[in-house]
Amino acid sequence: MTIDPDFLDELDRFETLDQRTTSTKKGERESPSVGEGLTFSDYRRYSPGDDTRLVDWRLYARTEEFFIKQFEEERNLTVHVLLDASASMDFGEGNQHKFEFGAKLGLGYAYLTAEEHDDFRFSLFTERAERIDTGKSTRGEVLALIDRLNGTTPTGGTDFQTAFEAYAASIRSRSLVVVVTDCIGDIDGLETGVASLARNEVVLIQVLSPTELDPEVGGDTIFEDIETDLTRRTYFGGRLAKQYRSRVDEFVDDVATRAQDLRVTHALVATDEDFFDAFSTVWIG
């Protein structure tokens, strides 16, 4: 891998998530709801119609007056990046390598999150997710991740359902989950796995090479499944080439439809796109 950290400097042109998701400062907005992600702020006297669950009964026992506990919503955001490190991501040459391109997209999220002094978590996944950051959420941590990713060779198959369900159980705070993958594998498992993450905001970034989308080959051709090493020799052209492109379109549409049904943001990125144009497409607020 040859990810050059200089690309991080160009990311300063993008607004941070906090700039894009809110027009108020952190901690300004009061929330009447009760649950995780809330911090106690103050008391006020009870008024008819207030939620009785917010009454402080211990305070009532001391004062014989009803007081309501007020809370502020915790506005800090944790960004979780899940990067596919299976063998199918080890495809493409140079800047069009799928794993490298996808890694830079994930690193972009981590870098801009660190710039906002929010927390990020960065994990590789195949059959399970492996966290590779150390929890510092700084620019230095992003640079260390680049070194780690440059030394990573994608290998093995994927188990979307098992990896994502286990990871979802570890999320404890207000979060954005960014999944970077080619989505190649068990689509039903992908859907089930993403569904387990979808109690948070989820961005599903599907990274494919231009060769996968529209092979520039013809005639007698050998196709190889990178994850299983199975090969097939066939004459690629005419009707077969048309069928292949149709099936690829159906595959991408299927992923997009399932994401939409789960209310998950889906973005298809081809690795021959300009990186910063691609990042501007997937960077959301």
The first and second tokens of residue 145, run together, are 């991740």
The burial class, CB within 10 Å (0-12 / 13-18 / 19+), for 246 is exposed
Domain membership of residue 4 (yes or no) is no
pLDDT tens digit sequence for 115-167: 988 999 999 999 999 999 999 999 999 999 999 999 999 999 999 999 999 99
Strand, coil or helix: 73: strand
Any idea what the CATH number is for the domain that residue 178 is in? 3.40.50.410
* Of 55, 73, 91, the domain-final residue: 73
Q: Is residue 5 domain-resident?
A: no
- Residues 199, 184: contact at Cβ < 8 Å? no
The pLDDT of residue 150 is 96
Instruction: Compute the distance between CA of residue 186 and CA of residue 191 in angstroms, rounded to an integer.
Output: 9
Tokens found for residue 207 = 């990274």
Report the distance separating Cα 236 and Cα 223, nearest Å: 10
Backbone angles phi, psi at 257, to 5 degrees: -65, -45
Residues 46 and 103 occupy one common structural domain: no
Residue 126: which of 91, 167, 93, 95 has the closest Cα?
A: 167
Residue 167 and residue 123 share a domain? yes
Looking at the fold, whether 113 and 240 belong to one and the same domain comes out as: yes
Q: Choose the final residue of a domain: 57, 73, 89.
A: 73
- Compute how many other C-beta atoms are within 10 angstroms of the C-beta atom of residue 113: 26
Domain span including residue 63: 30-73
Total residue length of the chain = 285
- For residue 172, being part of any structural domain is answered with yes
- Asked, for residue 123, whether it belongs to a domain, the answer is yes
> Does residue 98 share a domain with residue 40?
no
3-state secondary structure of 219: strand
The tally of domains found in the chain comes to 2
- Which helix (H) or strand (E) covers residue 190, if one does? helix 187-197
208 part of a folded domain: yes
Same domain, yes or no: 36 and 160: no
- Residues 158, 40: one domain? no
Same-domain status, 40 and 109: no
Strands (E), the chain: 30-31, 38-45, 67-73, 78-84, 119-125, 129-131, 175-181, 201-208, 219-224, 231-236, 265-270
Please tell me whether residues 121 and 222 are part of one structural domain: yes
Looking at the fold, whether 90 and 229 belong to one and the same domain comes out as: yes
Question: Which tokens in the block code for residue 56?
Answer: 């402080």
User: What are phi and psi for residue 245, nearest 5 degrees?
Assistant: -65, -35
Amino acid 243: pLDDT: 84
Q: Output the pLDDT for position 65.
A: 85
Q: Are residues 82 and 66 in the same domain?
A: no
- Residue 265 counted as domain residue: yes
pLDDT of residue 164: 98
- Residue 56 in any domain: the answer is yes
Q: 248 with 206: CB under 8 angstroms?
A: no
In a shared domain, residues 114 and 188: yes
Instruction: Decide if 91 is inside a domain.
Output: yes
Residue 61 and residue 110 in one domain: no
Enumerate residue ranges in the chain where pLDDT < 70.
16-42, 70-75, 216-238, 284-285
55 secondary structure, DSSP code:
B
Q: What is the pLDDT of residue 28?
A: 35
